[in-house]
Every structure is written in C-alpha cells, then in structure tokens.
Amino acid sequence: MTVTHPTLSCAPTWAALGVQHAILARAMPVVRHDIAGMLTIMRMAAVVLRRRAQDASEPLSAQLEQQEEHLASLSDSTRRLRHWDLQGPHAPEPIATTVQLARDLASPLLAMRGLQLQLPSPEEPPLPATRVPQQPLLCLLLGAVHLLAESPAGPPASVRILPGSQGAGSLRVQAEGVAADAPPAAPTPGMPALDGAALAHLAQHLGAGWRHGPGWAEIDTPLPA
C-alpha cells in the first residue's frame, strides 16, 4: 500500500526559518558571553560594595557609578536579543547602524580564528544611511559574513562590508586574502554548513535581493513595509 502525503505548503517558510536558526546559532554565543561576563563582574562588585559598606569612612560613589555602567552594558546586550524576535517590531534603522551591529556580533567569532571583519576606511565611500528594516538585513549580513568566513576553499584573511553596486540600499560583503594558518570553522552541532543557495532562499523569504559568487555576496535591502 502506497501512502501519499499532501504537499507541505509551509515548507519554504520552514526552510527559511531553519537558515535563520543556523545564523542565530553563530550569533547567540557572543550575546550570551556578553551577558554572562557582565553578570560575573557585577556579582564581584556587589561583594566589594557589601564589604565597603561596613566601613562608613570610605565613600561608595565611585563603585556605584561603576555598577551603573555595568547595568547599562548588560541592558544593551540584552536588547540585542530583540533582533531574533520574529514577531517583534522591526523599525527601520540606518544601514550603517545595522552594519556596525553585525560587526559587533560577528567579529568575536572570526577573531577566535585570526580573521578580521572590516568596514570601509575613511578614504572609501561610506556605508549608506538609508533607513531599512533592521532584523532582515542583520540576519542576511551575518549569514553573508559567516558564509565567506567558513568557505570550504579556505578562510580569508579578512571579510569586508562595503557599499554595494545597486545604489543606496545595497551592500557588498567580500573576502580578501588568505589566512593560511587559520583553523577551520568549528561545525555547529546538528547543522549543515551555510551555503549561498540557502541564503538566497532566506533573502527571498525576507523580501530582499541576494547575489553571490566565489568570495563575495551582495544584498539589496528590503524596503520598509
């Protein structure tokens, strides 16, 4: 007896969400490290404050100011989690701001392998200031960066994010040089490696443009709804 299954009309959406999950798996350790590290510092500072509070002759204003700075840093790291809330509001932000956020999230993982993530130098054309939905662009940017950094052909010395060829809403991510001594990217348990076809599918799902070739990828940002 042959059993037939109905067509999974949601399959493309599930596939796109799977690609997003693979990108999240690469970004989340950085956010977790930032939050856990700051909590450790604050716990140690609380112990110091408790001891000094017993000595009324020693002012605590400097230590309290440090605690406020730590709280602000912790709050900033926690707010980064909103970028992975698919149901949350996605207000348009300047492209350059989203690129900087992508750099903050991707650089630590690349640096562990001796790779650099670079933005345009002051002598080069600046990144666009066009305001576009941040979450889709951030996801695709991180995907493009890790796609090039994890290339089966070998890791590049650096990955650069530059203005793209299609106007103010376009970005180009390109690999430069060869990091001959860099270790290969550690595989993500239970997940296949990122590839250009998977990111093209995700871009289509997010309403963005995507082009890629050996050592480069270009993203046309989705327009605000």
- pLDDT tens figures, 73-108: 666 666 666 666 655 556 788 999 999 989 988 888
Both 76 and 108 in one domain: the answer is no
| 47 or 112: which leads in pLDDT | 112
- Residue 103's domain comprises 92-220
Last residue of a domain, one of 35, 58, 84: 84
Question: Measuring CA to CA, which residue among 77, 162, 96, 103 is closest to residue 134?
Answer: 96
The domain total for the chain is 2
Burial of 147 (0-12, 13-18, 19+ CB in 10 A): buried
Both 122 and 139 in one domain: the answer is yes
Tell me the per-residue pLDDT of 192-201, one tens digit each, with 9 for 90 and over: 778 899 999 9
The mean predicted confidence, pLDDT, of the chain is 79
- Average pLDDT on 56-84 reads 65
6 belongs to a structural domain: no
Query: At residue 25, does pLDDT exceed 90?
Result: no
pLDDT band at 161 (very low <50, low <70, confident <90, very high): very high
Q: Hey, which residues does 161 pair with through a beta bridge? A: 173
Residue 117 and residue 160: Cα distance in Å, rounded? 6
Last residue of a domain, one of 62, 84, 106: 84
Sheet holding 158-163, edge to edge: 116-118, 158-163, 170-176, 216-220, 209-213
The whole model's pTM is what?
0.74
Query: At residue 6, does pLDDT exceed 60?
Result: no
pLDDT value of residue 140: 94
- Average pLDDT on 177-183 reads 84
pLDDT value of residue 11: 80
- Average pLDDT on 58-74 reads 66
